Structure 1
Amino acid sequence: MAYYTGSAVDMAAVRQALIDACTTEGWSWDGGNEVLSKGTLFVRLQVVSGFLTLLGRTGATSGSAPSVVRVGNFPDTPLTWPVVYNVFVFANEVFLVINYSVSYHQFAAFGLSRVDGLPGTGMWVAATLEQTTPVTPAGISMGPDYGNSTDNCVSPGLFWASMSDAARNRNYWIHSDLDAQGWWPGQTQGGVLIGIRAAGPLIGLLPNNWNSESVLLPIRGYKIRPSSKVSLTVDVENARYCRVDYYEPGEVIELGADRWKVFPWYLKNPSGRQGGHRINHTGTFGWAIRYEGP
């Protein structure tokens, strides 16, 4: 729908760029409550201790998710200024990607689920970091079929987490209200196909050995239900998982009539392409966002 980019000298400027892009495209800004809204979607945006925090809500001042998600400093490589911001605004989805220190990236995103029949609002909100950023270096856990753990690591990808039900490790929330649990996504450790596990076999096979291209795979969120059942709660419309082995960060690729802008989740590292646990990069795991810029 629309693409905005520019430079920001601090997190307040990043927040303002996001607000300006959204309000230009039909969102409303409640400055008193620091809430962006559109229909049933509400997200509070604050700058706290140098972090941009996002808190999903079901109303301007009510129905908050259990915790915020954030963009800001990692212990290994402090965020440096200025940053380049990229804002993608679609009818029901918003994506923010910042780039700093040449090769580092972080994201924030929120939107409305396309899955029919959810008893909740369908609002989802996510970002690189959860509410309690790792306090020690090498705090990333990310692989082709797993993400996140119980020892204060994060998986800085959209709906990637698959191994922990601890709120302190949660970098996304979905208001499905399935089982009357509101925002709770219901992830838990085990062999259930949630998080990246559902797409893991395909992620592990990319890129294509024949032409070095990466197939774009759906980004989906799930919730574990009673009796070990699983329900799809989010099917993202304008972004896809991919591998970035042979793509440069920010590169625009064309697939048919569509163009996609490619980013690593945090830091591309071809020599450690399969990721790992307690690392300071994200291998060659990344994503592509539908691009409607120049």
Structure 2
Amino acid sequence: MAYYSGLCTSFQNLTDVLVEKCQAHGWTWRDEILSKDNLFVKISVKEQVESSFWGQHQGITLTGGTGKIGTELVNPSSRVRLGQTGIGYNVPPRFFPANYHLFIFVDEVYLVMKFDVDRFYHLTFGKSLFIKGTQGNGLWLSANACYYRASSSRLPETVYIGKTYGGSSGTHSSSAFAPFWNRSNWSDDWSNATICHGIGGVLWSSGTSRAYASFEPLIDRLPTAHFADSPLLPYNVYLERPENKMSLICQFANARFLRIDNHEPEQIITLGHERWIVFPFYRKDISVRDGTDGSGRSFDHTGTFGWAIRYEGA
């Protein structure tokens, strides 16, 4: 595992760091596409938003594929994006300078950007070892934002996340921020995570082939009155199947889910011989620990929902 941290001054600067470090650990960079074995990830960067229109996709965008022909991906996925989720009228972005944490493992890459004191974006991709014997290559992608931006928010961000729901379903909807939290009937480019599973004649997860994480019932029971810490739960991703069945199609090898009521962002915790660094999915708010209130309104935090990434830094 390789770990890097530092300061970035733009989305392009952050992308340059990501590409450089991935190349140093087995990835190939050509035609704006990172590739390794049968995984292909196209990266595009947009620094500025020219207008408040929801189609202005500021930030770093990822698109997955099963191959490449010239500069184009084969079987491209829907897109995910590190960047602002909503238009945020009258609230200018305060991104840079920003700090970053970059974790590169054999089959997974996690990039976390911290800005404006207590806010975090992420961009991640990896390979699921659960996908075998299908047309899917197991590539999964996630970022804090959908490719499109919600068009109705007056908040800095438009976050919609709860214990068993969250995410976007259309133009006025928000991102869950957390990977694979969206259970909505969303259309392409309106979710912040996708996976190439190839099950049932469908290649990529989508709003009609939904893949999402599930932590019930523990998500509602932690931390307890007798145990202040929250255990690190496996980050499992399930695919909806016919007859109300579910298939486990991915488990993050180097990230875990936890409630961060009693943990601070960027705190390092030690469990046996392993160390993990804690992050909120976006911004911690212990006063509204379960994220949104179920009314459909967007908020500017993710409660105490968070994750921990395996850490081997100094």
TM-score relative to the length of structure 2: 0.86
Equivalence map 1:12-27=2 (5 Å): 12-27=12-27
Equivalence map 1:205-284=2 (5 Å): 205-276=221-292, 277=296, 278-284=298-304
Q: What is aligned with 2:84? A: 73
**C-alpha displacement at 1:186, in angstroms?**
5.3
Rounded Cα–Cα distance in structure 2 between residues aligned with 1:282 and 1:65 = 30
Task: Find the partner of 1:129 among 134, 139, 145.
Answer: 145
Q: What is aligned with 1:155? A: 176
Q: Deviations over 1:46-70 (max 9, x none)?
A: 1024410111111133324342100
Task: Find the partner of 1:195 among 203, 212, 237.
Answer: 212
**C-alpha displacement at 1:110, in angstroms?**
0.4
Q: What is aligned with 2:132? A: 117
The alignment partner of 2:146 has SS state of coil
Equivalence map 1:172-187=2 (5 Å): 172-185=193-206
Q: What is aligned with 1:6? A: 6
Rounded Cα–Cα distance in structure 1 between residues aligned with 2:97 and 2:227 = 36
Q: Any gaps of 5 or more consecutive residues in structure 2?
A: 49-57
> Would the alpha carbon gap of residues 79 and 45 (structure 1) be closer, same or farther in structure 2, given more than 3 Å must change?
farther
Question: By percentage of residues, which structure has more helix?
Answer: 1
Q: Deviations over 1:171-193 (max 9, x none)?
A: 1111111112111245579xxxx
The 8 Å contact of residues 127 and 158 in structure 1, kept in 2 or not, is answered as yes
Task: Find the partner of 2:65 among 48, 57, 68.
Answer: 57
Rounded Cα–Cα distance in structure 2 between residues aligned with 1:113 and 1:188 = 17
**C-alpha displacement at 1:118, in angstroms?**
4.7
TM-score relative to the length of structure 1: 0.92
Rounded Cα–Cα distance in structure 1 between residues aligned with 2:74 and 2:226 = 49
**Which piece of structure 1 moves more, 21-30 or 166-175?**
166-175
Q: What is aligned with 1:103? A: 118
Rounded Cα–Cα distance in structure 1 between residues aligned with 2:168 and 2:143 = 17
Question: How many residues were matched structurally?
Answer: 287
Rounded Cα–Cα distance in structure 2 between residues aligned with 1:72 and 1:186 = 21
Rounded Cα–Cα distance in structure 1 between residues aligned with 2:18 and 2:267 = 21
CA RMSD of aligned residues (A): 1.8
Q: Which amino acid aligns with 1:51?
A: G
The 8 Å contact of residues 261 and 290 in structure 1, kept in 2 or not, is answered as yes
The alignment partner of 1:21 has SS state of helix
Q: What is aligned with 2:39? A: 41
**C-alpha displacement at 1:209, in angstroms?**
2.4
The alignment partner of 2:78 has SS state of coil
Rounded Cα–Cα distance in structure 2 between residues aligned with 1:149 and 1:156 = 10
Question: % of aligned pairs identical?
Answer: 36
